[in-house]
Amino acid sequence: MNRLLAAAWVIARRDYVATVFSRIFILFLATPLFPVLFGAMFGAIGANQDHSAPHRPVVALIADAPATRALAEAHDRLLARLGDDVLPDLAPMPPMPDDAARALLRQRGRHYVAVLGGSLAAPRFLLSSRAPDGTEEGVSLLVDTARAATALGQAAPKPVDLGHRTVRAGADDEPSAGDRVGLASGAQTGLFVLLVMLAGMSLSTFIEEKSNKVIEVLAAAVPVDAIFLGKLISMLAITLTFVAVWGAIVGIGLVAVKPAMLAHLPVPAVGWPAFCVLVVAYFVGNYLLLGAVFLGIGSQAGSPREIQVMALPVTMFQLLLYGLAAAGTGHPDGWVAWAAAIFPWSSPLAMLARAAELPAIWPHLLALAWQTLWLVVALRFAAGLFRSAVLKTGDTRPWWKRGFAAQ
Amino acid sequence: MADLAVEAEGLVKWFDKIRAVDGIGLRVPAGSIHGVLGPNGAGKTTTLRLLLGILDPEVGWRRILGEDKPMRAAPRIGYLPEERGLYPSMTPREAIAFLGALRGLPLAEGRRRATALLEEAGLGAAAAKPIRTLSKGMAQTVQLLGTIVHKPRLLVLDEPFSGLDAINQQRLEGLIRAQVADGATVLFSTHVIAHAERLCERITVIAKGGVRFDGTVAAARDRLPSRVQLRTRQTDGPWRRALPADATARDRDWSFALPADGIEPVLEALIAGDAGIETLAIERPSLHEAFVELVGEPVPQEAEVAA
Read off the pLDDT of residues B84-97 as tens digits, 9 standing for 90 and up: 889 999 999 999 99
Residue A15 lies in a domain: yes
Closest CA to B140 of B116, B111, B167, B113: B167
Compute the distance between CA of residue B151 and CA of residue B184 in angstroms, rounded to an integer.
8
Nearest of B111, B131, B127, B147 to residue A18 by alpha carbon: B131
Domain final residue pick, A87, A119, A153: A153
The residue from A153, A187, A207 where one domain ends is A153
Which phi and psi angles does B38 have, rounded to 5°?
A: 175, 155
The string of pLDDT tens digits covering residues B187-197 is 999 888 888 88
Residues A74 and A129 in one domain: yes
- Of B95, B10, B102, nearest in space to B57 by CA: B10
A165 touching chain B per CB within 8 A: no
pLDDT of residue A51: 54
Mean of pLDDT over chain B: 87
Find out whether B183 and B154 touch, Cβ atoms under 8 Å: no
What 3-state DSSP class applies to B232? Answer: strand
Say what the pLDDT of residue A168 is.
63
A305 C-beta neighbours (distance < 10 Å), count: 9
| Strand duo B59-64 + B210-216: pairing | unpaired
Going by C-alpha positions, the residue among B19, B13, B18, B8 that lies closest to residue B56 is B13
Nearest to B43 by CA among B62, B20, B23, B59: B20
Owning domain of residue A77: 62-153
What top-level class would CATH report for the domain B4-221? alpha beta
Q: How far apart are CA A234 and CA A228, in angstroms?
A: 10
Look at A221 and B81 and tell me if their CB atoms are within 8 Å.
no
In a shared domain, residues A118 and A22: no
Contacts of A176 (CB under 8 A, 6+ apart): A266
Residue A123 neighbours by CB under 8 Å, 6+ apart: A116, A117, A143
Query: Cβ A396–B98 below 8 Å, yes or no?
Result: no
- Listing DSSP states for B68-96 in one string gives SSGGGGGGGEEEE-SS----TTS-HHHHH
In the sheet where B210-216 sits, what is the strand order?
Answer: B77-80, B154-158, B185-190, B33-37, B202-207, B210-216
Q: Coil, strand or helix: which one is B253?
A: strand
Helix (H) / strand (E) element for B204: namely: strand B202-207
Give me the pLDDT at residue A344, please.
93
Q: What is the ipTM of this complex?
A: 0.81
- Is the Cβ–Cβ distance between B204 and B211 less than 8 Å? yes
Q: What local confidence, expressed as pLDDT, does residue B105 receive?
A: 94
Residue-level pLDDT at A14:
92
Question: In the listed set A119, A153, A187, which residue is the last one of a domain according to the structure?
Answer: A153
Shared-domain flag, residues A186 and A144: no
Chain B residue with the nearest C-alpha to that of A230: B102
pLDDT digits (tens, 9 = 90+) for B279-294: 989 888 877 877 887 7
d(CA B28, CA B35): 10
User: pLDDT digits over B223-270, tens only?
Assistant: 778 888 889 888 888 888 888 888 888 888 888 888 888 888 888 888
Contact A393 B59 (CB under 8 A): no
Residue A14 maps to a domain: yes
Q: Residue A52 domain-assigned?
A: no
User: Do A122 and A7 have their domain in common?
Assistant: no
| Residues B19/B13, Cβ–Cβ less than 8 Å | yes
Contacts of A223 in chain B (CB under 8 A): 71
A329: CB partners within 8 A, 6+ apart: A181, A184, A185, A188, A337, A353, A357
The verdict on A251 and A121 lying in the same domain is no
Nearest to A216 among B14, B83, B104 (CB): B83
pLDDT of residue B189: 92
Residues A232 and A371 in one domain: yes
- In a domain, residue A116? The reply is yes
- The residue-averaged pLDDT of B122-137 equals 90
Check A212 against B74: CB less than 8 A apart: no
First to last CA, chain A: 27
**Cα–Cα dist B268/A212, whole Å:** 66
**Is residue B299's pLDDT more than 50?**
no
A221 and B53 in contact by Cβ < 8 A? no
- ∠ CA B238-B241-B244, nearest 5°, is 150
- Report the SS3 class of residue A142: helix
Q: Residue A198: count other Cβ atoms within 10 Å of its Cβ.
A: 21
The DSSP letter of residue A290 is H
* Whole-number CA gyration radius for chain B: 24
The sign of the dihedral angle between the CA atoms of B267, B272, B273, B279 is positive
Q: What are the CA-CA distances from residue A360 to residues A274, A354, B65, B70 (Å)?
A: 11, 9, 55, 49
Distance from CA of A324 to the nearest CA of B (A): 40
Question: How much is the pLDDT for A388?
Answer: 79
Name residues 187-226 of chain A within 8 A of B (Cβ).
Answer: 208-209, 212-223
Q: How far is A305 from chain B (nearest CA, A)?
A: 21
C-alpha distance from residue B204 to each of A34, B83, B192 (Å): 63, 22, 13
State the Rg of chain A over Cα. Answer: 34
Residue A347 burial (CB < 10 Å; 0-12/13-18/19+)?
A: buried
Q: Name the domain count of chain A.
A: 2
From residue A117, alpha-carbon distances to A61, A90, A94, A95, A97 in Å are: 6, 12, 10, 9, 10
Nearest chain B Cα distance for residue A289, angstroms: 26
Tell me the mean pLDDT in the region B31-45: 89
Contacts 24+ apart (CB under 8 A), A387-391: A387/A224, A389/A300, A390/A299, A390/A300, A391/A219, A391/A224, A391/B54, A391/B55
- List, as one string, the DSSP characters of A42-105: HHHHHHHHHHHS--S-EEEE---HHHHHHHHHHHHHHHHHH-TTSS-EEEE-----HHHHHHHH
In this prediction, residue A285 carries a pLDDT of 93
- Could you tell me if B210 and B232 are in contact, meaning their C-beta atoms sit under 8 angstroms apart? no
Question: In terms of pLDDT, which residue wins out, B149 or B196?
Answer: B149
pLDDT value of residue A254: 82
Q: Which residues of chain A have pLDDT under 50?
A: 53, 171, 395-407
Within 10 angstroms of residue A357's Cβ, the number of other Cβ atoms is 20
CA–CA distance, A3 with B76 (Å, rounded to integer): 13
A119/A213 same-domain check: no
Residue A386 lies in a domain: yes
Interface test with B, best of A229, A387, A392, A401 (most B CBs within 10 A): A392
- Give the residue among A369, A325, A315, A365 at the shortest CA–CA distance from A345: A325
